[in-house]
Structure 1
Amino acid sequence: MNEFLNTIGPGGIVLLFLALLISLVQLFRRIVKKKSSSSTSNQHHLVKKYDDVNLNRYTGFFRLLGLSIAMLTVLAAFEYPVINKALITPENIDRVIGNEHYDSVLTIEIIKPKPQPRPRVIPDKIEVTDDPTIEDIIFDNNEFDPDAEIPDEPIVDDLSPDEEVSDEPLIIVEQTAEFKGGLGKFYKFLGKKLKYPRMAKQMHIEGKVFVEFIVERDGTLTDIRVSRGIGGGCDEEAIRVLKESPAWQPARQRGRVVRQKMVIPIYFKLN
């Protein structure tokens, strides 16, 4: 039975079920028709039943039909084959299979990569001579003056006197530019000069305004602009205060005074 069901497949089972169902319906219709005709002939001439108003006409037919459908459904459910499959590798073959029975087993072979040969290091050939010739090193001390004065500071020789200094502002330098007196005095200067804008107070705006500027070679601040602001008049106030800033100590790169681009935050906070 299992081999037959495996051969016809699910589609064949459905078609077979429909054919049996149609055959049973036709058979039951004939039986009911035959019964109704025989019972009508045996009835008294005064007792006559009409098929159109007979409620029990198809009771037996539908009862047998439901029983047949239930039996065929149970039979198909029990007889339909279930195929067990497992993915087995050489590492888990003993754990997965055990005493279980599988209709089909797919074995995957793991191919290990071939070990690559290590590169051989060939040393350089060194020629060894039996009698190496060593030349004498002669020191000329005619120009050496033992009574010469030694300066306290080292003499720095400019190796590239004709080197052109770029006019582009630098961001990273050896000695960065700073406010004269340090960062603490710079923020004290901001605290004295900075005025909180009226619009920012009314709208309760506070935060950091990032200002970008260039420290020139003479220490003045130029090209002052806001890179990220908060609005409410705070951006304009930060630019105004920086324009009133005194000269800074300029930046230095390789001992030369250079221009430097800087970005600093100015914090606006309501008390």
Structure 2
Amino acid sequence: MEVKKAPRCDLETKRSVFLQIGLIVSLALSLVAFEWSSAVEASTLDFYGVEMDVPVEIIPITTHKEVEKPPMPKSVDLLLIEDNFSELEETLDLGSSELEPDAEWDWAALEGPAEEREEVLLLADEMPEFPGGEKALFQFLSSSVRYPREAISNEIEGRVYVEFVVDRHGKITRVNVKRGVHPSLDQEALRVIESMPDWKPGVKDGQLVNVLFTVPISFQIAHR
């Protein structure tokens, strides 16, 4: 006996419809799921993709080349005429008040006018004087002399005797080394003597005269 289904209970006829509805729902759910994941991913990327503008200051590194320190110069003591008037005759020849018995003097030349006197005397009634006196002379020499570098390097020492004439106008003339030590020391001694200011001229018998002087300048390096 054949069993027959009622037409309203027969689902076979609606199978294709259900299949289409299922496919549509599946596709819809897939699209919703895809859009949701994309939105979340985009939001995440936006959060982690923020760029922070942090200024970076580049400080240049400067390298300083180490400079070798020059060797310490030797300590130099310049010993000039001692500021001791009791030892003046040993250091500065200012002439003598006593006549040497064997000395020959041209008295006839001294009797003429001062303008005609070219002779150089060893003494006078009034000896020439450095401006300010003997103490000022010592100070001038001490502050003016510069120990030559060549002499310092070679440790050259000694005493240079410089001879010069103070003429009747007080000018320093005829400067020469009477007894030298080394060319560098000799030249320095000459330079200092020639740089002296005018002196008060000497007087003999009421007339201005030329007077000879000899000054020893001692150069000595202090070894410490």
TM-score when scaled to structure 1?
0.39
Q: Which has the higher contact order (CA 8 A, sep 6+)?
A: 2
Q: Larger radius of gyration, structure 1 or 2?
A: 2
TM-score when scaled to structure 2?
0.46
